[in-house]
Amino acid sequence: MGTAPGPEGADPLQKDSKVAAVKVQAIGVAPRQVTMKGLYFQQSSTSEEITFVFQERENLPVTEDNYVKLQVKACALSQINTKLLAEMKMEKDFFPVGREVAGIVLDVGSKVSFFQPGDEVAGILPLDSEDPGLCEAVRVHEHYLVHKPEKVTWTEAAGTIRDGVRAYTALHYLSHLSPGKSVLIMDGASALGTIAIQLAHHRGAKVISTACSLEDKQCLERFRPSIARVIDVSNGKAQVAESCLEETGGLGVDIVLDAGVRLYNKDDEPTVKLQLLPHKHDIITLLGVGGHWVTTEENLQLDPPDSHCLFLKGATVAFLNDEVWNLSNVQQGKYLCILKDVMEKLSTGVFRPQLDEPIPLYEAKVTMEVVQKNQGRKKQVVQF
How much of the chain exceeds pLDDT 70, in percent?
85
> How far, in Å, CA of 134 to CA of 306, rounded?
44
DSSP reduced 3-state for 339: helix
Q: Quick check: 20 pLDDT over 70?
A: no
How is residue 378 annotated by DSSP? Answer: S
Q: What confidence score (pLDDT) does residue 317 get?
A: 96
Q: Can you give the pTM of this predicted structure?
A: 0.85
Range of weakest confidence among 204-208, 279-283, 329-333, 341-345: 329-333
Angle between helices 191-202 and 154-168 (to 10 degrees): 70
Residues sharing a CB contact under 8 Å with residue 157, sequence separation 6 or more, in sequence order: 74, 102, 122, 148, 343, 346
CB atoms within 10 A of CB 261: 20
> How far, in Å, CA of 152 to CA of 15, rounded?
47
Closest CA to 76 of 172, 195, 188: 195
Contact 115, 105 (CB under 8 A): yes
pLDDT digits (tens, 9 = 90+) for 144-155: 999 999 999 999
> How far, in Å, CA of 12 to CA of 21, rounded?
14
Rounded mean pLDDT, 38-51: 76
Q: What confidence score (pLDDT) does residue 266 get?
A: 56
> How far, in Å, CA of 70 to CA of 141, rounded?
10
Tell which wins on pLDDT, 209 or 87: 209
> How far, in Å, CA of 349 to CA of 340, rounded?
14
Q: Quick check: 46 pLDDT over 80?
A: no
Rounded mean pLDDT, 213-220: 92
Tell which wins on pLDDT, 146 or 35: 146
Q: Quick check: 11 pLDDT over 90?
A: no
> How far, in Å, CA of 254 to CA of 209, rounded?
13
pLDDT digits (tens, 9 = 90+) for 292-320: 999 999 889 999 999 999 999 999 999 99
Closest CA to 72 of 100, 111, 92, 43: 100
Residue 26: pLDDT band (50, 70, 90) is very low
Residues sharing a CB contact under 8 Å with residue 374, sequence separation 6 or more, in sequence order: 79
- Backbone φ/ψ region at 235: left (φ over 0), alpha (ψ -120 to 50), beta: alpha
Q: What confidence score (pLDDT) does residue 1 get?
A: 42
Q: Quick check: 189 pLDDT over 60?
A: yes
Residue 271: pLDDT band (50, 70, 90) is low
Range of weakest confidence among 122-126, 250-254, 274-278, 365-369: 274-278
Q: What confidence score (pLDDT) does residue 10 get?
A: 43
Q: What confidence score (pLDDT) does residue 9 get?
A: 42
Q: Quick check: 106 pLDDT over 60?
A: yes
Contact 286, 241 (CB under 8 A): yes
What type of residue sits at position 210?
Answer: T
How is residue 142 annotated by DSSP? Answer: G
Q: Quick check: 324 pLDDT over 60?
A: yes
Q: What confidence score (pLDDT) does residue 21 get?
A: 40
Q: What confidence score (pLDDT) does residue 22 get?
A: 36
- Backbone φ/ψ region at 9: left (φ over 0), alpha (ψ -120 to 50), beta: left
